Structure 1
């Protein structure tokens, strides 16, 4: 029986990214147990630690791909704590990652604790924009800043925000997002010409 269990666990690790799903479950459960509900205009925070499985081939700092992975956990936590996930799932809708931009300012060295602060910075009729800051806890330095464009499928953003607090005043589009969206549109137009 023990041998069978070990084979099943090994197959799960080969076929699926088990640690990813365990981490998602942990972040959501931890948030529900120890973190209060948040308004849409408030910042949520998750914590991380750069382990040997996070580093690049030089074994000194976090791999660029790991930043994107951590964004998933931060986003799921934000959705759950603000009530966005509840509103999306109530109508069988989806939030689809449409684009992400990230700017690395300084590496996160191995064995360094950090936090990811997440906040809603802008929205339009079909899309929300979420900013994530990677901050090392020992010096409070912003190591990287990412913005993700989340396309809302199956409901409008107005319906997504229904019953939630903190979205009463729509912010003006930050210049960095406005310029980034121009770049995304130019890229999309170029690809449409090829198709």
Structure 2
């Protein structure tokens, strides 16, 4: 089940947090509970993506995006993700999630998130392609920024992000069926 209670807790906890710049880093702490684990008593890979919501949505709240989404009736969707898993997170371990927008283009916003163990090791790292949507499809980031009262240009995408974007453009859709 989706962790609605945890999400509400994060949104309430951060409702008076200082606003972030568009590419500011939101830092949150979380614990791996028994309902987050797989049969090896470690954080389930699918649950990792769900826990990243607990960092990404409050980040969007702090940069002013959530208020604009509510006002306009727009939605926020994930249009792609790649994750690199490197260290196990065991039951009851505490982790820090760092979330930030890296850059944006004509259609998508690219968000980087990472989970850090208490010993300072990075457990996993994710790159998301996000989109704001309305009833007609994707809302251009320029239009979203305008609705937020911002006119900032996107930072240049890091080389590794540009390569991922290029690789995704080459990926067939729909996928081939055998």
Q: Sort the TM-score into its range (normalised by shorter chain).
A: 0.7 to 0.9
Q: Corresponding residue for 2:141?
A: 157
Q: Corresponding residue for 2:26?
A: 44
SS for the counterpart of 2:172 is: helix
Q: Corresponding residue for 2:67?
A: 86
Separation (CA, whole Å) in 1 of partners of 2:11 and 2:74: 19
Matched, 1:65 2:46: yes
Superposition deviation, residue 50 in structure 1: 1.3
Separation (CA, whole Å) in 2 of partners of 1:164 and 1:103: 35
Q: Corresponding residue for 2:126?
A: 146
Q: Corresponding residue for 2:165?
A: 181
Q: Does the C-alpha gap of structure 1 residues 116 and 128 become closer, same or farther in structure 2, counting only changes over 3 Å?
A: same
1:3-40 per-position Cα deviation (integer Å, ceiling 9, x unaligned)? xxxxxxxxxxxxxx3x622121111011114x222111
Separation (CA, whole Å) in 2 of partners of 1:192 and 1:113: 38
Separation (CA, whole Å) in 2 of partners of 1:32 and 1:89: 15
Instruction: Assess if the C-alpha contact under 8 Å between 1:82 and 1:164 holds in 2.
Output: no
Count of aligned residue pairs for this structure pair? 172
Q: Which has the higher helix share?
A: 1
Q: RMSD between aligned alpha carbons?
A: 2.0
Matched, 1:53 2:35: yes
Superposition deviation, residue 44 in structure 1: 0.4
Q: Corresponding residue for 2:96?
A: 115
Separation (CA, whole Å) in 1 of partners of 2:131 and 2:33: 32
SS for the counterpart of 1:65 is: helix
Superposition deviation, residue 109 in structure 1: 2.2
Separation (CA, whole Å) in 2 of partners of 1:31 and 1:37: 10
Q: Which TM-score applies when normalising by structure 1?
A: 0.79
Structure 1 alignment gaps of length 5 or more? 1-16
Separation (CA, whole Å) in 2 of partners of 1:193 and 1:135: 37
Instruction: Assess if the C-alpha contact under 8 Å between 1:135 and 1:143 holds in 2.
Output: yes
Q: Does the C-alpha gap of structure 1 residues 78 and 52 become closer, same or farther in structure 2, counting only changes over 3 Å?
A: same
Q: Which TM-score applies when normalising by structure 2?
A: 0.86
Q: Which has the higher strand share?
A: 2
Q: Corresponding residue for 2:5?
A: 22
User: Which of these two proteins has the greater Rg computed from alpha carbons?
Assistant: 1
